[in-house]
Structure 1
């Protein structure tokens, strides 16, 4: 009888900056501690309270370019003037052992992962209830200057234009409701046919042991 494990899920969650994807991802990880989190590499500077290797791996632009040239990234892209990338080794190891991975990345990274791992990727886009509300959230965060907020809002419009590349769209108007939707997507993905195919095959191969 086959002992093949179910394949891992690459759950990509994207949103404009300030729409709440990090909060939602953190809640999902709290409820499902077995899901791994893909810690991206980035060339941007750490924000107050961020720790290298926890929120991101902070590297120099030169180091990032060397890693990209060595094909060490499963995906990478320029976002808000800084480079971000996902370790190809981490993704390969997760898929190899059937572990699920959660990604907090933009549409460029999600597109690259889907092209590379089409059977494993689930794409979720978190929408703000309005651009006015998005601006208010960015200002309440109090981490960016006015010109940075203006640039983020401009980028948000271009990111929203890629909504049709995603499998699921969740409006984060109410945090609990939005989390319930994200949770439902993940739980449903756990039971996709291609993920559970090995279990079904085991039942077929072992049918002589069934009482009927």
Structure 2
């Protein structure tokens, strides 16, 4: 069945711009289906259930997890849980849509266990200095928090070798187009 669509999993270090690249793809390539995460946190102003997140309570999240309906999940900042519902991903792939998950490194590792046939793409900064600028340039964290984030970023960058492909986020549009090209004309993993 030529031209099989493949699941592409986009991950990378903190502050590399995964969300920005995913937003670019969402706005320019409506043919690409982007996974919507489930979360136990309450909606922020303007967020729409089913569009930004599936907002669920703890009991519903527990049920999804217990029944194996999450490809991956994590507790973020010790509070809310986030996860990728498996059903919509399977439906999108079955319908022949180019399908993408934009998740963190921990999530990507869990998805590799569940769906090893996916193509795993690492979004990398042009340079370490560039990533430091993005992390520190926000100016929202104190020194201890900055150091913690930089240490996390070092560890996350070291995971690059676990991925099938690397895309350098030197330009959002270029990176987004390269990502879409991997979905629409899937390469072999070799």
- Please give the alpha-carbon distance, in whole angstroms, between the structure 2 residues aligned to 1:47 and 1:152: 24
Out of 50, 55, 60, which is 2:52 matched to? Answer: 55
- Please give the alpha-carbon distance, in whole angstroms, between the structure 2 residues aligned to 1:160 and 1:79: 20
Shift of 1:187: 3.8
TM-score normalised to structure 2 length:
0.78
Shift of 1:45: 5.6
Q: Residue 16 of structure 2 corresponds to which residue in structure 1?
A: 19
Shift of 1:107: 2.5
Q: Residue 86 of structure 2 corresponds to which residue in structure 1?
A: 88
Q: Residue 169 of structure 2 corresponds to which residue in structure 1?
A: 172
* Deviating 4+ runs (over 6 angstroms): none
Q: What is the root-mean-square deviation in Å for CA atoms of aligned residues?
A: 3.0
Give 5+ residue unaligned stretches, structure 1.
194-212
Classify 1:49/1:154 alpha carbon distance in 2 versus 1 (closer, same or farther; 3 Å): farther
Matched length: 187
TM-score normalised to structure 1 length:
0.71
Once the two structures are superposed, the pairs formed by residues 157-196 of structure 1 within 5 Å of their partners are 157-189=154-186
Aligned residues of 1:42 and 1:84 also touching (Cα < 8 A): yes
Q: Residue 112 of structure 1 corresponds to which residue in structure 2?
A: 110
Question: Whose radius of gyration is greater, 1 or 2?
Answer: 1
- Please give the alpha-carbon distance, in whole angstroms, between the structure 1 residues aligned to 2:61 and 2:141: 26
- Please give the alpha-carbon distance, in whole angstroms, between the structure 2 residues aligned to 1:92 and 1:167: 21
The answer as to 2:37 corresponding to 1:37 is no
Shift of 1:91: 1.7
SS at match of 1:102: strand
Q: Larger % of helix: which?
A: 1
- Please give the alpha-carbon distance, in whole angstroms, between the structure 1 residues aligned to 2:146 and 2:8: 28
Give 5+ residue unaligned stretches, structure 2.
none
- Please give the alpha-carbon distance, in whole angstroms, between the structure 2 residues aligned to 1:94 and 1:114: 18
